[in-house]
Amino acid sequence: MSFKVRSFKGGGRAGVLQTPHGPVETPVFMAVGTAGTVKAMTPEQVRSTGCQVVLGNNYHLNLRPGLKVISGAGGLHRFMNWDGPILTDSGGYQVFSLKGLVRVRNDGVEFASPVNGDKKFFSPSSVVESQSVIGSDIAMVLDECIAYPNTEEAASRALEKTLSWGAESVKAFDKLGRKSVTTGRDQMLFGIVQGGSHRKLRERSAAETRRMDFDGFAIGGVSVGEPRKEVRDMINFTAKLLPEDKPRYVMGLGDPADLVHAVESGVDMFDCVIPTRHGRTGWLYTSEGIIVIRNAPYRHDYSKPDPECGCYTCSNYSRAYLHHLFRSGEILAHTLNSLHNLHFIVQLSVNMRKALISGEFAVLKEKILKYYG
């Protein structure tokens, strides 16, 4: 596994990340398939959008269907019929979101399952071991992501746990031979830089995390409620603290304008539920901004959802039909809308790569910011 990257004037990068399930061209937007599925879409439909990587979530997959089921299937790739790369999140963010059901300890996190109330415990090593069973190409460490706003003292305490857990994760990963126990294939382990909106903490987090033997680095703790400018400033600040020769990943970023700014800051990888979630609520990305397809003006609009889009939805259906499906409560509305939105965001990442290489990134950025700010 390797990462070859070419940097361009202004900070943007185009690279190729080699994984056990094939190369990934960056910048790359990764579709969120939390429980082993991208909601309302088949793996074949996800692939048709040009999507290269799908995410799974260790927390959700532990709860349902459980590691024994996934292991019995030969790993998550076979279980969900996805032959491309998979990245699994540790599930730490989901655990910390269980208000009243979670207790943070120095050695990990204790929580009650929201499914059946059973007591569960995630340690840094158990999270790595779980993802080894799942068989993902890229595994994420357990970290503590605190809510926004937060004090520097609280962010510092969370950071110390994240650093300690990161070191323990690397040791557990090395004991496993950096391979999946289910498939025998190599895996990568990414560290996570935390620190909230406190620059001194970000600098310490980046410096300490860089010293650990990670294959890539994620910028965590952004897009958790901060003002948009603060998100962008912190991504730009943190990205410059990370190694040039390893992939940089912003977790939970999916707005078109935010993606453009992040790529310009030198970030390589992104994921977010927004494209498919917007699809299920009737919001469609287009080359001229968002349209709310459920609204009355589209009842008699027989034009393509987006005249510049070549996805399956835009090639076969009109705005009027999508409006009808959504207003009628038809499940197909979720599928067609999600397919289009995912295609739009994935193609934006492809176009950003092309624009970096051709020297036309500023033109693309201006167009996106015109409609998405």
Tell me whether strands 291-292 and 283-284 are parallel, antiparallel or unpaired.
Answer: antiparallel
Which of 18, 243, 20 lies closest to 132, judged by CA? 20
User: What DSSP letter does each residue of 54-104 carry, written as one string?
Assistant: EEEEHHHHHHTT-HHHHHHTTSHHHHHT--S-EEEE-SHHHHHT-TTTEEE
Q: How far apart are CA 361 and CA 264, in angstroms?
A: 9
Mapping DSSP to helix (H, G, I), strand (E, B) and coil, where does residue 4 land? strand
Mapping DSSP to helix (H, G, I), strand (E, B) and coil, where does residue 265 land? coil
- Tokens 């950096």: give the residue: 178
- Tokens 């599925």: give the residue: 37
User: What DSSP letter does each residue of 219-264 carry, written as one string?
Assistant: E-S-SSS--HHHHHHHHHHHHTTS-TTS-EEETT---HHHHHHHHH
Q: Are 251 and 271 in contact (CB under 8 A)?
A: yes
Mapping DSSP to helix (H, G, I), strand (E, B) and coil, where does residue 170 land? helix
> Which residues have a catalytic role annotated?
89, 271
User: What DSSP letter does each residue of 293-348 carry, written as one string?
Assistant: TTSGGGTT--S-S-TT--SHHHHH--HHHHHHHHHTT-HHHHHHHHHHHHHHHHHH
Q: CB under 8 Å to 130, separation ≥6 — which residues?
A: 58, 61, 62, 67
Amino acid in the structure at residue 79: F
Which of 70, 60, 86, 171 lies closest to 123, judged by CA? 171
Q: CB under 8 Å to 340, separation ≥6 — which residues?
A: 279, 284, 285, 305, 306, 309, 311, 313, 314
Q: How far apart are CA 34 and CA 272, in angstroms?
A: 11
